[in-house]
Amino acid sequence: MNPYVPFVRDHARRLREGRAWQLGGFPLPVFVPPAPDAPRFLVFSPHPDDECIIGGLPLRLMRECGWRVGNVAVTLGSKRERQAARLEELRGACDYLGFDLLTLGANGLEQVTAKARAADPAGWAGKVAAIADVLRRESPRAILFPHVQDWNGTHIGVHHLVMDALATLGPAFETHLVESEFWGQNYQPNLLVETSERDLVDMITALTFHVGEVQRNPYHLTLPSWMTNNVRLGGETVGGQGEAPPDFPFGTVYQLRLWQNGAVREMFKDGRVLDARTDPSTLFADS
């Protein structure tokens, strides 16, 4: 018998069956609180749910190294009638992952796009100031946000918003920049981070707390496939063209750089692959 027949059939069956599985409401894991002086990692999420999708690296830093992770809810989505519900769903997801939740006003920011940046400089400056206040107050060791070509208008807008905010903070402010890709490929990644089965289960489970979104489109069920494709992709875009992919099933591709003296500084000459056996804090040890 062709082994790929049950392989494909079982995968399709799981995707169908998974639509009926529980969404949200799972008991919260028990966490060890981070130390008061633990390094701070901020995730600037364009939408509620991004923290669950691209948060593999900060989740590892929290669990393996005791870092404290905060998710900044830049927007609560464009549908105003859903914003209150999306905030509550986001609280459940962050509580499940152990991430702090930082909100920007009652409904988050709106019109966070490159178009709004060009059309309304005064309004954009107010949004930049809000992000700069968070950065100044939290003084993060590293921040995670989308790369500049991440296709979705709000993802690209958040990239510009964070970079514009950094530019207002002066030369003394320093942090690591971790840029994610989800909607559009980053053609200059330098980091592929393995996600363990346990972490992936928890990321999917947290994603189910975004009930209204995954009922509409059950993308929580495709997260393992996306992470497997990241390993295929990152094996060459990070590891080098023609190189064999690393021997692990799940991962996320990033670009890691440093913000120093008011400008972006490259950190790696070559790409790095961080497997599950390697301490993720070593990524930040050379700067």
Between CA 158 and CA 148 the distance in angstroms is: 9
* Tokens (6 digits) for 97: 């992952």
- How is the chain split into domains, by residue range? 40-284
Residue 78's pLDDT is 87
Beta strands in the chain (DSSP E): 40-45, 68-73, 100-103, 142-146, 175-180, 191-194, 251-260, 263-266, 272-274
- How much is the mean pLDDT over the chain? 96
Mean pLDDT value of segment 157-177: 98
* β pairing state of 40-45 and 142-146: parallel
Between CA 34 and CA 176 the distance in angstroms is: 20
In this predicted structure, the answer to whether residue 189 has a pLDDT above a threshold of 70 is yes
* Cβ atoms < 10 Å from Cβ of 187: 10
In this predicted structure, the answer to whether residue 286 has a pLDDT above a threshold of 80 is no
Q: Which residues pair with 179 in a beta bridge?
A: 145, 255
- Please enumerate in sequence order all residues whose Cβ is within 8 A of that of 260, keeping only pairs 6 or more positions apart, or say none: 174, 287
Mean pLDDT value of segment 139-156: 98
Between CA 43 and CA 65 the distance in angstroms is: 17
In this predicted structure, the answer to whether residue 287 has a pLDDT above a threshold of 80 is no
* Tokens (6 digits) for 57: 């690296």
Class of CATH domain 40-284: alpha beta
pLDDT digits (tens, 9 = 90+) for 25-60: 999 999 889 998 999 999 999 999 999 999 999 999
Q: Are 136 and 169 in contact (CB under 8 A)?
A: yes
pLDDT digits (tens, 9 = 90+) for 8-27: 999 999 999 999 999 999 99
Give per-residue burial for 252-266: e unless 16+ CB within 10 Å, then b.
bbbbbbbbeeeeeee
- Residue 157: pLDDT band by 50, 70, 90 thresholds? very high
pLDDT digits (tens, 9 = 90+) for 241-250: 998 889 999 9
**Model's pTM, two decimal places?**
0.96
The residue behind tokens 């921040």 is: 143
Report the percent of the chain where pLDDT is more than 90. Answer: 94
Tell me which amino acid residue 284 is: F
